[in-house]
Amino acid sequence: MGKLKLIIKREFLAKVKNKSFIVMTFLSPLLMVGIGFLVFFLSKKNDEKVKHIVYVDEFKLFAKEDFKDTKTVQYTDYTALGIEETKKKVEEGDYYGVLYIPKKDSLEILANSIEFYSKESPSMSVIGNLENRVELKLRNLKLDNFGIDLQKIKASKISAAIKMYNFSGEESSKLINGLKIGVGAISGYMLMMFVMIYGTSVMRSVIEEKTSRIIEIIVSSVKPFQLMMGKIIGNASAGLLQFFIWGVILFVLSIVSSSVFGVGMTEIQTAKLSPEQIEAMKQAADSGVMETLMQEFFRLPLVTIFVLFVFYFLGGFFLYSSLFAAVGAAVDNETDTQQFMLPIMLPLILGVYIGFATVINDPHGPVATIFSMIPFTSPIVMLMRVPFGVPWYEIAISMALLLVTFVFMVWFAAKIYRVGILMYGKKPTYKDLWKWIKYNG
């Protein structure tokens, strides 16, 4: 036990004292925040550029009010010039493009005959906005041809908002469900990234010691199993420390950015919204929706999420790191690891895809529930489900299965590790690994 502690301490200190670890621990949050501000700044700069679109309406259906100017798009009627002259003028000048509305026999034919010309490929948002304007106009014209009063149609529109409650009487909403999705998705994705980063770190550490022949001296004093576990636990401790520091720094930066620079998350989120959407958000804030959302955030099982994050981080890390360590012991250089990496990485990637594909739509459905029990995907999928409320017995089963599988995989990896660390000069195959597992010496 004393030797194991020494190995853990050595691996932990070697990791945290590394210059790259120290630099990235404090620099990564700043880079994340900096990239966020850069994207916000560039998106605002991009929106400041006004797109000048001209249109030629040979059908004579559209009026100026159908193409109202916005902050980012200006419309000009070039119908009098004709399409050919307009195309030449636009191509020579500083215009975004030409919308051509030809004269057709019916609105149905016209709907699929409208064309847009531009020097470069237009953005999907611009084309989508033009299509919406054209569809609205053609729809209104068709209703008018049917003798339907458009004012009555507009007056008949009504919005419904279904209030959601659970059986204990607590109120919920679509916004709150979105909040739960966000918290779960971030937790699951962060766990996957940490497992991949620190799992490969264990593998590289083993390869480095093996290629330098230091490992031959080390195993003369400690058992290979103790060495492997010491590396895994030491790197896991360093990972948790780094994650804690990142959390503290990001929390402080969020407070500073909101109070000193006056840039809050609301500004970033509304940077690309239309004035109508921004006004709707303001009305939602005035009606207390934002306050309710913040209250609901603190009603989430934050302590449970944090505790389970630590547990599943450690469980998932130990599970995968044991495999990474076995791979590192089996090869002589990092290039030879590629043939063994894919089977290890696939369950992690699958967990993320399953989480985003199923948990978002149905967090308590059979697919989400099953994959939150399977040990190779449960660390990610279960964390995505937790904000929605998971029965305690499902969590208990998932944790128990993860622990049992972790113990088995450590034993499995140790069989490969104890033989592989002393093997040199040969690129191993899956057949060789199977022989090492069966070796009883």
The answer to whether residues 368 and 234 belong to one domain is: yes
pLDDT at residue number 284: 47
Q: Is residue 213 part of a domain?
A: yes
Q: What percent of the chain has pLDDT over 90?
A: 5
Q: Is residue 277 part of a domain?
A: yes
Tokens of 434: 């199977």
Question: Which stretch of 8-12, 121-125, 422-426 has the lowest confidence by average pLDDT?
Answer: 422-426
Q: Quick one: average pLDDT of 375-402?
A: 88
Q: Is residue 318 part of a domain?
A: yes
When the pLDDT of each residue in the chain is averaged and rounded to a whole number, the result is: 78
Looking at residue 159, the DSSP 8-state letter turns out to be: -
Residue 401: strand, helix, or coil: helix
Confidence band (pLDDT; 50, 70, 90) for 65? confident
The answer to whether residues 200 and 256 belong to one domain is: yes
pLDDT at residue number 12: 85
Q: Is residue 161 part of a domain?
A: no
Q: Is the pLDDT of residue 116 over 60?
A: yes
pLDDT at residue number 180: 75
Look up tokens 């190779």; give the residue. Answer: 376
Q: Quick one: CA torsion of 382, 375, 233, 189, rounded to 10 degrees?
A: -40
CATH number where 115 lies = 3.40.190.10
Give the torsion sign (CA, 270, 273, 275, 279): negative
pLDDT at residue number 257: 59
Q: Quick one: average pLDDT of 302-326?
A: 83
Q: Is residue 224 part of a domain?
A: yes
The answer to whether residues 196 and 332 belong to one domain is: yes
Confidence band (pLDDT; 50, 70, 90) for 397? very high
Q: Is the pLDDT of residue 410 over 70?
A: yes
Q: Are 76 and 98 contacting, i.e. CB atoms less than 8 angstroms apart? A: no
The answer to whether residues 240 and 369 belong to one domain is: yes
Confidence band (pLDDT; 50, 70, 90) for 245? confident
Q: Is residue 155 part of a domain?
A: no
pLDDT at residue number 400: 93
Residue 73: strand, helix, or coil: strand
Q: Are 98 and 90 contacting, i.e. CB atoms less than 8 angstroms apart? A: yes
Question: Which stretch of 16-30, 207-221, 263-277 has the lowest confidence by average pLDDT?
Answer: 263-277
Q: Is residue 165 part of a domain?
A: no
The answer to whether residues 88 and 206 belong to one domain is: no
The answer to whether residues 99 and 223 belong to one domain is: no
Tokens of 272: 């690309």
Amino acid at 65: E
The answer to whether residues 136 and 261 belong to one domain is: no
Confidence band (pLDDT; 50, 70, 90) for 247? confident
What is the rounded end-to-end Cα distance, in angstroms, of the chain? Answer: 23
pLDDT at residue number 401: 93
**Cα–Cα dist 349/209, whole Å:** 29
Strand ranges in 237-374 using DSSP code E only, listed in sequence order: none
Q: Is the pLDDT of residue 123 over 90?
A: no
Q: Is residue 332 part of a domain?
A: yes
Q: Is the pLDDT of residue 270 over 60?
A: no
Look up tokens 């369950």; give the residue. Answer: 347
Look up tokens 């790259």; give the residue. Answer: 20
Amino acid at 109: I
Q: Is the pLDDT of residue 287 over 50?
A: no
The answer to whether residues 141 and 17 belong to one domain is: no
Confidence band (pLDDT; 50, 70, 90) for 398? very high
Looking at residue 185, the DSSP 8-state letter turns out to be: H
Q: Are 172 and 164 contacting, i.e. CB atoms less than 8 angstroms apart? A: yes
Tokens of 418: 């104890």
The answer to whether residues 74 and 207 belong to one domain is: no
Domain of 138 in residue numbering reads as 50-148
pLDDT at residue number 46: 64
Q: Is the pLDDT of residue 265 over 50?
A: no
Find, among 330, 363, 357, the residue nearest to 344 by Cα.
330
The answer to whether residues 24 and 58 belong to one domain is: no
The answer to whether residues 367 and 408 belong to one domain is: yes
Look up tokens 């919005």; give the residue. Answer: 159
Residue 232: strand, helix, or coil: helix
For the chain, what is the domain count? 2
Give the domain-ending residue among 148, 181, 197.
Answer: 148
Q: Are 378 and 395 contacting, i.e. CB atoms less than 8 angstroms apart? A: no
The answer to whether residues 13 and 141 belong to one domain is: no
pLDDT at residue number 295: 64
The β-bridge partners of 97 are 53
Q: Is the pLDDT of residue 365 over 70?
A: yes
pLDDT at residue number 48: 62
80-101 residue pLDDT tens: 888 899 988 888 888 889 999 9
Kindly report the pTM of this predicted structure.
0.64
Q: What percent of the chain has pLDDT over 70?
A: 83
**Cα–Cα dist 144/155, whole Å:** 15
Q: Are 194 and 313 contacting, i.e. CB atoms less than 8 angstroms apart? A: yes
pLDDT at residue number 32: 75
pLDDT at residue number 170: 62
Question: What count of residues does the chain have?
Answer: 441
